[in-house]
Amino acid sequence: MSQTLVALESVNKHFGDLHVLQDIDLSIASGEVVVVIGPSGSGKSTLCRTINRLETIDSGRITIEGRELPQEGRALARLRADVGMVFQSFNLFAHKTVLENVTLGQRKVRRVAKADAERRAMELLERVGVASQAQKYPAQLSGGQQQRVAIARALAMDPKVMLFDEPTSALDPEMINEVLEVMRQLAADGMTMVVVTHEMGFARSAANRVVFMADGRIVEEASPKEFFSNPRSDRAKDFLSKIL
Ligand code: ADP
Ligand code: MG
């Protein structure tokens, strides 16, 4: 069994009266691909956001390589670099070129020299299939291309884990596969990934484990094969009957 990379232990979080994360225990092994599914409002995005501390937690513990998440300052900036995040909306810097989007973090947080950052950026843009767009601005790219740039930008920080929060939900249908294909390749290359998605084909083919959430709790965890062929809980059965 490989080593635990990310661990959440008895994590609780409230938004006012809403108990959005309830006693979440989840450990993610190095190289593992965990797909998180569940109805809208079940806490999937909040779960992702706690892992890179975009959200604080009320109780419990989150560790990466055994170390608790830093609270602030440069340690927090480094944590954010170690935990790459790709959102539904592409979140690229609109006034920077594609190349600048992928070099900026390397230079500011990792203190990489300009030429090295650009070399690395071009390698990554090549890898996600958008190297020819390097001098363009995000608005000149399709949604699928922008999302692939967002993936390259996160990868440029050499993250230990990548979080994807519905990365294809805002895309036109014909662009979904080009993004999923990049993610599949990343998974095959051994990246540790947490992926919130409604793409059940991706979950079946790329996940090592499916985590099903409802009402702020992890209701069920299983291999994709087991989960899709034999969901145990009524909540999961109900959810699957609606989406499959
Ligand atoms: P999911 O990603 O599974 O759809 P979210 O984690 O986005 O769920 O949201 C879980 C619940 O928390 C929802 O009811 C949502 O309205 C609420 N919520 C999310 N973010 C906030 C916030 N910043 N303030 C108050 N409520 C929030
Ligand atoms: Mg969400």
- For 108-118, what is each residue's pLDDT tens digit? 988 999 999 99
pTM for the whole structure? 0.95
* Ligand 1 centroid to residue 50 C-alpha, Å: 12
pLDDT at residue 1 is higher than 60: no
C-beta neighbour count of 223 within 10 angstroms = 12
Mean pLDDT for all residues in the chain: 95
Reduced to 3 states, what is the DSSP secondary structure of residue 77? helix
**Res. 41 pLDDT band, cuts 50 70 90:** very high
Which residues have C-beta atoms less than 6 Å from ligand 1?
Answer: 15, 18, 20, 38, 40-46
Ligand approaching nearest to the C-alpha of 47: 1
The per-residue pLDDT for 210 is 98
Closest by alpha carbon to 211, among 48, 65, 86, 53?
A: 48
- For 43-97, what is each residue's pLDDT tens digit? 999 999 999 899 999 999 999 999 898 888 888 888 888 999 999 988 899 999 9
Once rounded to an integer, what is the mean pLDDT over residues 2-21? 96
DSSP state, residue 141: S
* Ligand 2 centroid to residue 68 C-alpha, Å: 24
The per-residue pLDDT for 72 is 80
Ligand 1 nearest atom to the CA of residue 213, by list position: 3
- For 115-170, what is each residue's pLDDT tens digit? 999 999 999 999 999 999 999 999 999 999 999 999 999 999 999 999 999 999 99
Nearest-CA residue for atom 14 of ligand 1: 41
- For 186-227, what is each residue's pLDDT tens digit? 999 999 999 999 999 999 999 999 999 999 999 999 999 999
Q: Classify residue 217 as exposed, middle or buried by CB count within 10 Å of its CB (0-12, 13-18, 19+).
A: middle
Instruction: Please state, in angstroms and as integers, the Cα–Cα distance from residue 139 to each residue in 79, 93, 145, 147, following that order.
Output: 29, 10, 10, 12
